[in-house]
Amino acid sequence: MILILLLSIPALASALISRCRKREMAEGIHLSASILSLVTAGVVAAWIWSGQAVIQLSLLRADALSAFMAAIITFVGAIAGIYAVGYMRLESDKSPFPRVRLFYTLFQLFVFTMLLAVTTDNLGLMWVAIEGTTLATVFLVNFHDTHTGLEAAYKYLMISSVGIALAFMGTVLVYYAAATEVGEIGLSWTALIAIAARLDPNVVKLAFLFILIGYGTKAGLAPMHTWLPDAHSEAPAPISALMSGVLLNVGFYALIRFKAVTDISVGPAFSSTWLMRFGLLSLGLAAAFLVSQRNYKRMLAYSSVEHTGIVALGLGFGGYWGIVGALLHMLNHALSKSMLFILSGSILLKYRTTEIRGIRGLLKAAPWTGAAFLCGIIALLGLPPFGLFMSEFMIFRAGFETQSAAYPVTGIALIALAFAGMLGSVNSMLYGRPSGELDSGDPLRWPIAPVALNVILLAGLGLTFPDAVRTFFDQVLKVVGMPL
C-alpha cells in the first residue's frame, strides 16, 4: 500500500498541476507533493531499516536498495523542488503561465518515473520507467528554448534512447536465459536471483555487456557520456540538480541489480573487470575536460562523469568496502552535486553568464550563495570533513585489497588531476573583487536555505559512520548478495 502511496503522490501532483489555472496553486501542489514524497520515502526506509526486509505488492517491490534509492530521490527532489519555486519566480517571472505549469508538471513526472524505476520487481517495467525519465526530462533540458538547448536536448534524447535500447537488448537476453527455466516470470528480479546459478553463463555474459553499455549511458559512464555535459549544463538549475544528483544513480541502480544476477551466474570477476575499465576511462576523460573547462555548469557536469567513474570503480573493486564505498559515494555525490547545481542557478541569475571568467568575488557579491558553494566544492573535491573523502577512502582501500595496485593507483592519480583542474577554476570564481556595477546580496535567500541540510548531512557522513547507518548498508549489501 505504502508503495502505491509513494508513487501516486508525484503522479497525482503531475496530473493536478497540468490542470491548474493559477501559479500559486501549481506551486502549492508542487511543494506539498515534494515534501510528502520525502516523508513517505522516509517511512518506507524506516520500515525496512527496522527489520521488515521487503515490501511487496504484485509488480511493486521495495527492499533495502530500493528504499535507499527512494530516499535519495525524494530528498534531492524536495531540496530542488523548494529551490525551483524561487528560481522559477525570478527566472521566468514574465514567461506565460502554461510554460511554468509545464515545468512543474514535468518535474513531478520525472520524480514519478525515477521512483517507479527503483520500486518495481519487473526488470522490463524498470526499463520502461527509465526510458520514461528521458522522455520526462527532454523538454526540461530545452526549457530555455535556445539553439544550444535544442542541440543538447536532441543529443540527449537520441543518445539516451539508443543507449537504453541496448539495455533492452540485454534485458531480452536475460529473459531468454531465464524463460527456459522459469517461463513468464523470468523478468522478475527476485525470480532471477533465485535461479541465477542455473542460467546459461555465456548468454548472461553477453547480456551484461549490453546492460552495462545501455544503463551505463544513463549513468554517464564514458565513452557513452557525451550527452551529459550538454544536457546537465543546458537544463534549468533545479533540473540539473535532479539529473546530476539522482538520475545518474538510477542508471547505477539498474546496473547493480543486473550485476548481482551476473555475479552469481558467471562469478564476480567478469562484471568487475568491465566496471573498472569503464570507471577508469570515465575518470580519465573527465579529468582531461576539467583541466581546461571554461563554463562552470559544464565543469560541474564533467565532475559528475568523474564521480560516476569513481562509483564504477568501487563496484568493480568489490568486497565489503568497495560496495559500501560505492553506495555511500552515490549518496554523497547526490548531496553535494545537487547542492552545487542549485547554487549554480543562483550564480547564473546574479552574474547572467555561465563563463568561469565572468565570475569574480562570489564570496563578496553573494555571501550566502558563495559560502555554500565553497562548502559544496570542498566536499566535491573529496576533502575532509565531508562525506566524499570517506567514501573515496573506502573505495580505494578496497581497490588495494582486492585488485592489483595498478587500478587504484591510476584512479587516485586521475582524481588528483581533476582536483587540480577544478581548484583553479573555482578559486578564481570565489575570490577577487566583483565588478563594480554588480550590487551586493544573494539573488535568492529562502530557496537556498534547505541546502544547509545537505552540508550538515555531508559533514555527518564525513565525520562519523554511525551504527544505524551501517546496519542499513549491511541490509543493502545483503540484498545484492554480498556476504558480510
Q: Which residues bind other proteins (CB under 8 A)?
A: 59, 122, 124-125, 127-128, 131-132, 134-135, 138-139, 142, 147-148, 150-155, 157-158, 161-162, 165-166, 168-169, 171-173, 175-176, 179-180, 184, 187, 200, 202-203, 206, 229-230, 234, 289, 292-294, 298
CB of 266 to other proteins, least distance (A): 12
CB of 163 to other proteins, least distance (A): 10
Residue number, 152 or 451, with CB nearest to other proteins: 152
Residue number, 302 or 373, with CB nearest to other proteins: 302
Write the DSSP string, 287-328. HHHHHT--BHHHHHHHHHHHHHHHHHHHHHH-HHHHHHHHHH
Residue number, 138 or 335, with CB nearest to other proteins: 138
Residue number, 223 or 367, with CB nearest to other proteins: 223
Residue number, 71 or 283, with CB nearest to other proteins: 283
What letter represents residue 195's amino acid? Answer: I
CB of 95 to other proteins, least distance (A): 17
Please give the Cα distance from 219 to 49 (Å, whole number). 27
CB of 153 to other proteins, least distance (A): 7
**Cβ–Cβ under 8 Å, residues 315 and 274:** no
Residue number, 74 or 295, with CB nearest to other proteins: 295
CB of 282 to other proteins, least distance (A): 16
CB of 447 to other proteins, least distance (A): 28
Residue number, 132 or 481, with CB nearest to other proteins: 132
Q: Give φ, ψ of 461 to 5 degrees.
A: -70, -20
Residue number, 74 or 282, with CB nearest to other proteins: 282
Residue number, 189 or 368, with CB nearest to other proteins: 189
Please give the Cα distance from 415 to 310 (Å, whole number). 9
Please give the Cα distance from 173 to 179 (Å, whole number). 10
Please give the Cα distance from 410 to 96 (Å, whole number). 51
Please give the Cα distance from 68 to 74 (Å, whole number). 10
CB of 129 to other proteins, least distance (A): 8
Cell 511554468 appears where? 100
Please give the Cα distance from 349 to 448 (Å, whole number). 13
Torsion sign across C-alpha atoms 354, 302, 450, 135: positive
Residue closest to 313 by CA, chosen among 286, 285, 274, 287:
274
CB of 74 to other proteins, least distance (A): 23
Peptide bond into 223 cis (omega under 30): yes
**Cβ–Cβ under 8 Å, residues 30 and 37:** no
Q: Which string of b and e fits 193-220 if b means at least 16 CB within 10 Å?
A: bebbeebbeebbbbbbbbbbbbbbbbbb
CB of 121 to other proteins, least distance (A): 12
Q: Kindly state the DSSP code that residue 145 receives in the 8-state scheme.
A: -
Q: Which three cell numbers stand for residue 46?
A: 524506516
Please give the Cα distance from 451 to 449 (Å, whole number). 6
Please give the Cα distance from 207 to 126 (Å, whole number). 16
CB of 476 to other proteins, least distance (A): 26
